Amino acid sequence: MIVGLGVDVCAIDRLAEPRRRLVERLFTPSEQDGSAATLAGRFAAKEALAKALGAPGGLVWTDCVVGRLESGQPTIEVLGTVRRRADELGVTSIHLSITHDAGVAVAVVVCER
């Protein structure tokens, strides 16, 4: 059963030359490497997940880690504040898709139980 759906768009140029403090606030060390498109996609994924979880206050950006498998499939790991909210909703699986085109990154998240 789907318990949450979230979509977000992020302009790639928004993260073309991000300030170091912004990067450290939004991303874990493992997420900080990559092109502007990669960072924009990861940020869109975090925003989409927050929306899928009902956008409650108190979520910590770095409690959601966006990565990818060797195949290129995006992954999302939830920890701390984000894990607690997912548990409250009974979320047992999270599906993520990210795409980039025409200067934007788009992410879609589906939460199921």
Mean pLDDT of the chain: 94
Residue 45, pLDDT > 80, answer: yes
Distances (CA, A) of 9 to 25, 69, 92, 100: 19, 22, 25, 10
Domain count, the chain: 1
Range of the domain at 107: 2-112
Residue 104, pLDDT > 80, answer: yes
What letter does residue 90 receive in the DSSP assignment? T
Q: Give the CATH number for residue 19.
A: 3.90.470.20
